Structure 1
Amino acid sequence: MNGQVLYTLSAIGRGKLNELFAIDGKSGTVRNIKNIDFEENNAFEIRVQASDRAIFPMTSHAKLLIEVLDVNDNSPEITVTSLLNRVKEDASIGTAIAFVSVFDRDSGKNGIVNCKISNTVPFKLELNYKNYYSLVVDGALDRERAAHYNISIRATDEGNPSLSSISFILVIVSDVNDNNPYFTENAIHVFIKENKIIILSDVNDNAPQFSEAVTNMYVRENSPVGTVLKAVYANDADASENSMVSYSIISNNNFVPLSTMIDVNSETGKIVSLQTFNYEEMKTFQFKVQATDSGVPPLRSNDLYSNRTYFAAHLPNQIFFSIILFSKI
């Protein structure tokens, strides 16, 4: 009896080890009784007690270190952070679309991950740092040929056998106005029965024009504020909204504060004084009035004839005013 040995797991430091391991009392063989996960715990320390069967047994203790070897049992995980919901079709090469990161819970070669795009698309992955990538434009985009791309990203570890994961990123290509309109036919023949009415719609192709180029206005000093100095009129040959004209004042130099002196009614063209004028302080000053129609896009009185001089224009595109003050009699 004194020579027979009984093996047990020591109560010291056992914790939950008795739920994972068991020892054969006669042979001393230690076995796991539950699955062990390397990613949860990669090493264990077990205390084993050996005692004889004497009436007063003698005991001895030993420390058993168990190292868990990793098995490639985890596939890589792919995380995508989108930067753009849509990418313009004229986006330059190198434009970042999304950030991609990969992670593998295994260790060693089992945890080394290679990431790449597995289908043919005008995009590529650029490595920023270990396991961190940028998805960028790598070729010309054309919405008229491909309005979207379903990019397949595959991450594969270096385990044996290797495990892989796939993630899909949908990229929408937004339109840019890069195509001229064209007719499907070179010539179109239209036949109209007699007594039919054809209505043509107007295109805003005429800028407003004044009937005179230069006007001298004489204003008596100390005239009350709000005095109507003159009413201007510009004609627009277009129709409807395209012919509706509004008026504004343009300064002729940077020395006269026109905004505090005169104003023009944008609808009626009436020019009114905003202050009383003093002959001794200012005897004359000049300004221009510009007319703008309501077409889309709007045309201004200086859009079509901007090179004409104030005196040479037969139908001027701007009207030049010279205000001359005279002393109150």
Structure 2
Amino acid sequence: MDAFYASVEQRDDPALRGRPLAVGGAGRRGVVAAASYEARRFGVRSAMPSVVAQRKCPDLVFVPPRFEVYRAISAQIHAIFACFTPIIQPLSLDEAYLDVTRPLLDYPSATAIATAIRARIRDETALTASAGVSYNKFLAKLASDYRKPDGQFVITPRMGPEFVANLPVGQFHGIGPATAARMHGLGIRTGLDLRAQPLSRLLRHFGKAADFYYGIARGLDDRPVEVNRPRRSIGGEQTFDADIHDWAAARDSMLALSERVWGRCVARGLTGVTVTLKVKYNDFRQIVRGRTAPEAVADGADLARRALALLEPCFPPPRGIRLLGVTVSGLRVPGAVPPARQLALFG
């Protein structure tokens, strides 16, 4: 979907159409959840602090998010997808992979299917979507961003390797800013540079991700579209109105946050063996630390105890704490027998 949250707000309030719009909080601690295309022209983007966004675009209008509305529209869109194929992998409320190798409706090509889906979305929701059509997930994702907004682009097997060769590695889906910076340090700036690297060098610098990088540099990606992909983690975080400096305030916040996250675990009938803490300071630097235990988290109090054990070494903090987050991963159904574990060689 094109600027999904912002487009929904502009659709529902005609006074917002054509204006630079940010969905999110306008306060000193606010963060942009989504930005309209009018706002993006000023450099406003999602995850940007609201004060920075306001500085870039003084006329920016902030609208609080309405996630229940976005979820309802997302369900509408997924119902449209399901008319064309049962093989759907949601990535978020506004994005999904579809495998249309064997479509449910008789269309001559994947390109024709994408055109039909976009038309149905426009007719039923009055919103626009962009589509990428290709022979694997990596290239389809790249193609989906190529003609935004309200566009469509096809990368054929013949085009794939050359299309990748000319792109900066920072634009590759699956290569984030930190990895791109590491690649730049190794002299890898484009897809062609990445293709020139022997697999042994990529393995030395990027470990298990090397095979993926080696493949996408050649336009290859054999990952299937995964229906009902299992959830990997359950978490939550809180941004504070005022920086936290003392242990008592941090402890109270973590107790409340742990209880909230445990409620989400209970609602999904899941628990997990790994607890991860996220601490973001007032200069936006952050640390993440986690710990895996032999036993799964038992309840909210147990989750809080593990989270506080990770948080305690952070005190006294080097600077004010802006945000705390906690995540449970290594998920399993409570009471389920854990998979067999490899014994340690020593001890």
**TM-score normalised according to structure 2 size:** 0.18
Indicate the structure with greater helix content: 2
Relative to the length of structure 1, the TM-score reads 0.18
If each structure's strand is expressed as a fraction of its own residues, which one has the higher value? 1
